[in-house]
Structure 1
């Protein structure tokens, strides 16, 4: 399968030691991968919310003489897509849907290598209990994952509210035997999430598995295993189809690593029938 423009850009940045400002530029480039080769340094600076000199320094940090050299390279690795003008025929709602379709396509290409997800599944399955963190925009992702995970995992603990008790709940999970923490991190990234991951990983000694909108998200420095899934930005509020689907993929990988997952599901189904829980 041919790499997407975003995947090609991702490869350009992998393994680089970038400053927070440079990660912000890289993140913006990945999110607008098809457009970036045709942006001026001023336009890219505006897109990323940084200064124009920061864009020039970013290009030099990647090993280019300046931004023009970087842009020439981008035009080689991210050629113009045929039929790009077709988007003009769509209204803004359709464009948002097509944007999410592209995010899902990128996720499918990422999952061509299943090793990171399989590793994550083993880490999550082995953690008893399993804390699942997600605040603000990501709280629904954490709750959704926790709801389904509780059907197969013996002790899932959603952490979907911030505040001073958050560290206490991480400590309680660690004392109870937790070895890993799953985090859903979506923009805008709350400061509390970064602080919680720093605490969970540095103080509590948990292995942090993160689903984030980009490999350059602020939580990356505090994650042992980060799997990116882009959010849609075509509407007033971001859409998160790809992160949600990635969460379900992680559930599948966790089930594969739990030898009694099928038995637990059958037990729940039998109980649900006996209780008349669902409409048939």
Structure 2
């Protein structure tokens, strides 16, 4: 936040208009994180073109790039009632901000998937005797999907969320890998549980949203994948893709995965798990 503020003041020296914008930003950054460029122009008494020029002078591609970065800086301070701003019917600049964020996040995935952190996590999940997926509050809703997918290709997948048996009675073993789902607003109960497990000698990895995440201090590896915040609740399209990708990569490391999937399919067919059109 300090670096962000310093950059604003540096640009303010360029002109009287920029100084006018900077003075408003310096005391209203949190409010601006919810604004469209038209909103900010109205509040500062300048044109939208001036707002765009100010943002590009800061080094951003435009106002959209600026406000997304600002949101990433301040979003852990947002509370649910404040997010009702995203329920308004008029969409900034004629497009859904959540859709634009998700598209931008997906465009980052090729580089993320080639990272060393992803390769490490795939290797750990493929080799660990026991893999515990741990999370709390809204981001833990990703875990059942991850557990279902990974549970199809290997045994030993467990889910630990507050109040579950795996959470309340967790017993650390050297063969265990914990993957923490550490996303804003970063539940304290999750961070404390993961740190306690790590102190007990368990390998703790994390999937988190940015390099400033609290998970970076103790997770190894820590895989950074962006989430979108331009809505009433955070959206997890990129992390959901990552789960699917991770499952595919782990499956490639398991020699008997085809036989395993064939056995599961045979069982499902025998039990009539899936609906089929009746024959007449």
TM-score normalised according to structure 2 size: 0.66
Gaps of 5+ in 2: 8-17, 32-53, 67-90
Alpha-carbon contact 1:197-1:219 (below 8 Å) kept: no
Q: 1:187 aligned to 2:169? A: no
Q: How does 1:17-56 map to 2 (within 5 A)?
A: 40=22, 43=25, 47=29
TM-score normalised according to structure 1 size: 0.66
1:47 CA displacement: 4.1
Larger radius of gyration: 2
Please name the residue that 1:215 is paired with: 211
Q: 1:81 to 1:256 in 2, by over 3 A?
A: farther
Please name the residue that 1:56 is paired with: none
Helix, strand or coil at the partner of 1:192: helix
Instruction: Render the CA deviation track for 1:35-69: whole Å, top value 9, x for unaligned.
Output: xxx984973775479xxxxxxxxxxxxxxxxxxxx
1:143 CA displacement: 1.4
Q: 1:267 aligned to 2:263? A: yes
1:163 CA displacement: 7.9
Length, aligned pairs only: 216
Helix, strand or coil at the partner of 1:150: helix
Gaps of 5+ in 1: 1-20, 30-37, 50-71
Q: How does 1:124-135 map to 2 (within 5 A)?
A: 124-135=125-136
Alpha-carbon contact 2:179-2:206 (below 8 Å) kept: yes
Comparing 146-155 and 254-263, the one that deviates more: 254-263
1:178 CA displacement: 3.0
1:157 CA displacement: 0.8
Helix, strand or coil at the partner of 1:273: helix
Q: How does 1:1-280 map to 2 (within 5 A)?
A: 40=22, 43=25, 47=29, 78-80=60-62, 88-91=92-95, 94-111=96-113, 113-162=114-163, 166=167, 168-169=169-170, 171=171, 174-175=172-173, 178-203=175-200, 205-280=201-276
Q: 1:118 to 1:150 in 2, by over 3 A?
A: same
1:101 CA displacement: 0.9
